[in-house]
Amino acid sequence: MPHSLINHNSDLTQLYDEGYVIEIRNEYLFIHEIPYLNSLKKIRRGILVTTLNYSVDKVYPPETHVIDFIGEFPCDKDGSKIIGIEHSAGRDLGNGILTNFSFSNKPKEGYPNYYEKVIQYIKIISAPAKSFDKSVTERMHQVIETTDEESVFKYPDTNSSRAEINSITMKLAKQKIAILGLGGTGSYILDLVSKTPVQEINLYDGDTFLQHNAFRMPGAPSLEKLKERLKKTDYLQEIYSKMHRNIISHSEYISETNIKELIGMDFIFVCIDRNEIKAMLINFFEENNIQFIDVGMGIQEKDNSLFGILRVTSGTDNKRDHVSKRISCAIGTGNEYSKNIQIADLNALNAALAVIRWKKLFGFYSDLEKENNISYAIDCNSLISEDNDS
């Protein structure tokens, strides 16, 4: 990807051809070996870092005139700060990338490309150092080899870098996730979780992908695809593996014979309706200290309209004593899917509430309530949070 970007974009190619030491990593452009003077009038070298606005292999004009810097604050010939570019303190860009400062120098019309942006900042930062030593140059003609581990994504998450939330997004990294049941709600959970940098997503469901499933799940499968009669997990793996590298299909139901496969999972989403299986799972989760979220949806018909409640219940390291009263595990009784009424928008909402709760648990979202049971009533548009962490 970095070499493709350089080769296909004239501004990056120009930087590279002129000998600037550039590197593309984590959706950022790094320009190494930038000479500058520190407060002691000593020549030092730093790194300019700018977000890279691109899609596939095409780079677009910079979205911001601001640039980050790794190093001491650049100074003028008298050792005073170059205050004309001072903007703010450094920040955490994620994946261990910490900058020291950000600078601001905005041309009237903005920067038309990355070459103009980089060159302008280099001129400002490096001029004092070059006045001390005319042999100093930033054009080192060095090649930087990336040392990043392979991304879980098949193309970079420029959404997080564009919003400057990489360090927050990476709180979800390295998790092994399992989704049990890939019907309506489970498939929407997959859709949302696949857009995060979790290490892997394991899919468990023994059902075949049939025509009625197409109206409950994200996307729009073709008639030809329906005729293939794939297992749900294989169908979804095929789709979401186009984006996330580690979607793992287990085209079987969870049972006593394979439940031990869940040991080692960091988090599990339970989207199944069989009470006896839920009872086994909840006991297993407690015995093995596994964190999970169970979703439920009970929809009924009355007076030619639908009404009902969506539920999201979490069991975590901090709280599990509420689980038995929130999740029905009684064998032989009705369950939340007894009439099998599922609607795509409610599946999507139930999934979104579950994923938001999961993200709260890992610090992605702020969490003031620390709720472990969420109920949404459709007819009165009521959202209730209960069973808060004590």
Residues constituting the chain: 390
Going through the chain in order, the beta strands assigned E by DSSP cover 21-25, 28-37, 43-51, 54-55, 58-59, 67-70, 86-89, 92-94, 97-98, 101-103, 176-180, 200-204, 247-250, 267-270, 292-302, 305-315, 373-377, 382-386
Cα separation, 82 vs 62, in Å, equals: 23
Q: What is the pLDDT of residue 275?
A: 81
Percent of the chain clearing pLDDT 70 (strictly above): 95
| Residue 338 pLDDT > 50 | no
C-beta of residue 57 within 8 angstroms of C-beta of residue 24: no
| Residue 88 pLDDT > 80 | yes
Q: Indicate the residue type of 163.
A: A
CATH number, domain 174-386: 3.40.50.720
Give the number of other CB atoms < 10 A from CB of residue 170: 20
| Residue 145 pLDDT > 90 | no
Cα separation, 230 vs 228, in Å, equals: 6
User: φ and ψ at 141, to 5 degrees?
Assistant: 55, 40
**45 - beta bridge partners?**
35
Q: What is the pLDDT of residue 331?
A: 61
Q: In the chain, what are the domain boundaries?
A: 2-149, 174-386
The mean predicted confidence, pLDDT, of the chain is 92
Q: What is the pLDDT of residue 332?
A: 53
Give the number of other CB atoms < 10 A from CB of residue 108: 4
In tens, the pLDDT along 5-26 reads 887 899 999 999 999 999 988 7
Q: What is the pLDDT of residue 158?
A: 80
**302 - beta bridge partners?**
305
Residue that is written with structure tokens 């989207």 in the block = 271
Angle subtended at Cα 281 by Cα 292 and Cα 355, rounded to the nearest 5 degrees: 25
Q: What is the pLDDT of residue 274?
A: 82
Q: What is the pLDDT of residue 55?
A: 87
Q: What is the pLDDT of residue 162?
A: 79
The arithmetic mean of pLDDT across residues 208-214, rounded, is 94
The arithmetic mean of pLDDT across residues 151-170, rounded, is 86
| Residue 124 pLDDT > 80 | yes
pTM for the whole thing?
0.82
| Residue 330 pLDDT > 70 | no
Q: Is the dihedral of CA 146, 28, 19, 70 positive or negative?
A: negative
**b/e per residue, 109-148, with b = 16+ CB within 10 A?**
eebebbbbbbbbbbebbbbbbbeeeeeeebeeeeeeeeee
In tens, the pLDDT along 63-77 reads 999 999 999 999 999
Q: What is the pLDDT of residue 8?
A: 84
The arithmetic mean of pLDDT across residues 298-313, rounded, is 94
In tens, the pLDDT along 242-271 reads 999 999 999 999 999 999 999 999 999 999
Cα separation, 29 vs 22, in Å, equals: 7
In tens, the pLDDT along 265-284 reads 999 999 998 888 999 999 99
Q: How confident is the model at residue 1 (pLDDT cuts 50, 70, 90)?
A: very low
User: φ and ψ at 312, to 5 degrees?
Assistant: -130, 120
Q: How confident is the model at residue 359 (pLDDT cuts 50, 70, 90)?
A: very high
